[in-house]
Amino acid sequence: MRTKLLAFVIISVIGCTAIFAQKPVVKMPPMVLVEGGSFIMGNNKGYLDQQPEHKVTVGNFYIGKFEVTFQDFKKFVDATGYITDAEKNDSTRLRAGLPPRGLYNGSWKLTMNNTPIPLSDSLKPVTNVSWYDAAAYLNWLSKETGKKFRLPTEAEWLFAAKGGIKSKGYKFPGSNNLNEVAWYVENSDKRAHNIGEKLPNELDLYDMAGNVREWCSDWYGEAYFKVSPELNPPGPEKGKVKILRGGYWGSPKGMLRNNDFPYNNSLGIGFRPAITDETVVVAKVEPKKEHGLMKDFETKGFIDIYGINFDIGKAIVKPESYPVIEQLANYLKENPNLRVVIEGHTDNTGSDALNLSLSEKRAQSIKAEIEKHGIDPSRMETSGFGSSKPIADNKTAAGRTQNRRVTIKKL
């Protein structure tokens, strides 16, 4: 009898141990269905990289009702032992030769006073996470829940922030009064706050205008809005920096657009999850036949391309300009008899000879990129214009014109 009782106790203990040893079930974060629709993206009176206004259509998707919190991210780190970019001794930032980040760009576990984040802050949005950190969290969440979590595209984020098909046309997400819907510089006491303390927007989404900026999936492209597809624009295929949307506790305004290197982090940067709704098929949108910027060839006979990384002695095309170059290459393929001249421009260095040399290198760099798309180089001439006043009069404090562009003209 005693032997049977001992065996029962042992089995019971083992069973209980097995139960308690099981890893806790990861719950789905609150998600909101955003029914697909069309809206106008961009601003004709805004910065050049946000022009022009253009119609965008997005399909159905789900987006997080709240920003990912400190306690959400902590569960991920505790379960996986993940080390964030800012905490790595061999971080991308250090390998790039950049200086260490300050307190505002340190560990996700520390406050701006370099003290551990208290448990009372568990429901504040997690900050000091890079784009790569956000992606790692969402990959883990996908494995734990069986859903395909990801970051929202910029178009999805903006459509959701505006209220989707339920939009009432507010100035800010959910209200014309920023104080009602956002923590920002005038009411935040210079810190993030618990999620969901302000009013939601029309879709019942919280903190879209403030608290923390949010990573989007898109690479940034300086001229992308000019060539963006109408249906579900994913952003440029390549780039150096990622899009951030929304204001944060230190912002002077509400719904802002920023960008940063994907390995960078800040006390003002967080994220929220998204899921594609794979049960709904969006009606196909016929692609536009015109080639965005190429319309200017028909009306003006020229186009301008910006976004070239330019140092003394070299000219390298930024990935932000790749979509424009692809558009131009496709246009040249469809018009095989067309020849063009690529005219380079540069800032005023104080030397006419150097201005000509540098602007010629700029033109040649664009020509080389177009050749990679299979365009015969004999169809393109290059010319160094030198220093000139740009279309937008944006002089530096020293009075020099900032004119790092090339102009493509028909021959």
**How does pLDDT run across 175-223, given as a tens digit for each residue?**
999 999 999 999 999 999 999 999 999 999 999 999 999 999 999 998 8
Confidence of residue 45 (pLDDT cuts 50, 70, 90): confident
Is the pLDDT at 395 greater than 60, yes or no? no
More confident residue, 403 or 317: 317
- Which residues make Cβ contacts (< 8 Å) with residue 349, sequence separation at least 6? 312, 355, 358, 387
Confidence of residue 19 (pLDDT cuts 50, 70, 90): very low
Q: How many H helices and E strands in the chain?
A: 10, 16
* Tokens of residue 348, six digits: 């005023």
Token pair 């080390």 is found at 83
What pLDDT sits at residue 327?
Answer: 78
> How confident is the model over 100-156, as pLDDT tens digits?
554 456 789 988 777 888 888 899 999 999 999 999 999 999 999 999 999 999 999
What pLDDT sits at residue 65?
Answer: 95
Task: Report the candidate in 103, 102, 100, 120 with the shortest Cα–Cα distance to residue 112.
Answer: 103
What pLDDT sits at residue 4?
Answer: 45
Hey, how many other C-beta atoms are within 10 angstroms of the C-beta on 407?
A: 20
Confidence of residue 363 (pLDDT cuts 50, 70, 90): confident
Is the pLDDT at 352 greater than 70, yes or no? yes
Is the pLDDT at 399 greater than 50, yes or no? no
In CATH, which of 3.40.50.2300, 3.40.50.11810, 3.30.1330.60, 1.10.357.10 is domain 292-410? 3.30.1330.60
Q: Note whether 408 and 367 are within 8 A (CB).
A: no
What pLDDT sits at residue 259?
Answer: 94
β pairing state of 274-276 and 61-64: antiparallel
Across the chain, what does the average pLDDT equal?
81
Q: Where in the chain is the domain with CATH 3.30.1330.60?
A: 292-410
0.75 cut: is pTM over it?
Answer: no
> How confident is the model over 294-350, as pLDDT tens digits?
666 777 777 777 666 655 456 677 666 777 787 788 888 888 888 988 888 777 777
What pLDDT sits at residue 5?
Answer: 41
SS (H, E, C) 10-50: HHHHHHHHHHHHCCCCCCCCCEEEECCEEEEECCCCCCHHH
Is the pLDDT at 10 greater than 70, yes or no? no
Is the pLDDT at 21 greater than 50, yes or no? no
Q: Note whether 34 and 152 are within 8 A (CB).
A: no
Is the pLDDT at 47 greater than 90, yes or no? no
The number of angstroms, rounded, from the C-alpha of 107 to the middle of its chain's C-alpha atoms is 21
More confident residue, 396 or 386: 386
Q: Where in the chain is the domain with CATH 3.90.1580.10?
A: 31-276
Q: Which CATH topology does 31-276 take?
A: paralog of FGE (formylglycine-generating enzyme) (3.90.1580)
- Which residues make Cβ contacts (< 8 Å) with residue 247, sequence separation at least 6? 182, 184, 209, 210, 213, 253, 254, 255, 256
Q: Note whether 349 and 361 are within 8 A (CB).
A: no
What pLDDT sits at residue 326?
Answer: 77
Dihedral in degrees, nearest 10, Cα atoms 237, 242, 246, 249: 170
Which stretch of 16-20, 43-47, 109-113, 212-216 has the lowest confidence by average pLDDT? 16-20
> How confident is the model over 242-293, as pLDDT tens digits?
999 999 999 987 668 999 999 889 899 999 999 998 664 443 444 443 445 6
Structural element, H or E, at residue 160: helix 154-161
More confident residue, 53 or 330: 53
